[in-house]
Chains A and B, each alone.
Chain A
Amino acid sequence: ETGVTQSPTHLIKTRGQQVTLRCSSQSGHNTVSWYQQALGQGPQFIFQYYREEENGRGNFPPRFSGLQFPNYSSELNVNALELDDSALYLCASSPRWGSGANVLTFGAGSRLTVL
């Protein structure tokens, strides 16, 4: 059974650019969530995808968007990057929509630096 895999591991962008981060969910999981973890802070919920639709969103502006594909993998897109977007972006998957936190599996994250 494979876990949650994310790519790229690290990337550097400049302010105003756009970035796409990718996530493959754990085998058997159909729901994907994205979190932003700024340095020295806990993860903050961005949004969740189930059945290829956004299903729940945290306090993030529309320039944060996502996709989920039929194979349950997912992308996080951030437009018009700002310096404060520098963070570790975590993807997490769960077996089904509405699952509790006890079955949420996190990936190792993508470290984004915005200069």
Chain B
Amino acid sequence: QKEVEQDPGPLSVPEGAIVSLNCTYSNSAFQYFMWYRQYSRKGPELLMYTYSSGNKEDGRFTAQVDKSSKYISLFIRDSQPSDSATYLCAMSALDNNNDMRFGAGTRLTVKP
């Protein structure tokens, strides 16, 4: 079993749809949870960064963490074609960036 599991998709939705992306994990020590967006031929860019359980909202994006279920989610409201990318979840036990564990990424396509 991988430490971080993420459905690779691909996921295809119409413009304006609500998108739900999810990851599960097995290491209960993880406390910091991140979502990255990676466009084709580009490096990952950080979208959301949360600590412990709870929700965090930033514009059209909402990140949820449920540590009791070891489950994290990213919701994208009013999805746009420009949201088409691969979304990677990542997590770490400490607040440093040399021990992050990434999911495999979910490829999302938003159709006009």
Contacts and interface: CB of A to CB of B under 8 A. Distances in A.
A56 B88 CA distance: 22
Given A44-B102, A100-B32, A101-B90, A106 B96 contact: no
A41 interface: yes
Nearest to A55: B98
Contacts of A94: 97
A109 B43 contact: yes
A43 B97 contact: no
Nearest to A46: B98
A101 B92 contact: yes
Given A99-B96, A107-B43, A42 B102 contact: yes
Given A101-B92, A102-B46, A108-B43, A42 B97 contact: no
Interface string A36-65: 000011111101100000011000000000
A101 B4 contact: no
B17 to A, nearest CB: 24
Chain B binding surface SS class: loop
Interface residues of A, number: 26
A33 interface: yes
A70 interface: no
Nearest to B100: A101
13 contacts: A40-B8, A42-B90, A43-B44, A44-B102, A45-B98, A56-B99, A90-B44, A94-B97, A99-B97, A100-B32, A100-B97, A101-B49, A101-B96
Given A45-B98, A101-B46, 20 more contacts: A40-B104, A41-B104, A42-B88, A42-B103, A42-B104, A42-B105, A47-B98, A48-B98, A90-B43, A92-B97, A94-B97, A100-B49, A100-B96, A101-B49, A101-B90, A103-B97, A104-B97, A106-B44, A106-B45, A107-B43
Enumerate the 4 nearest inter-chain pairs by beta-carbon distance, A residue then B residue, closest first. Answer: A42-B102, A106-B43, A56-B98, A48-B98
Interface of B: 4, 6, 8, 32, 34, 41-46, 49, 88, 90, 92, 95-100, 102-105
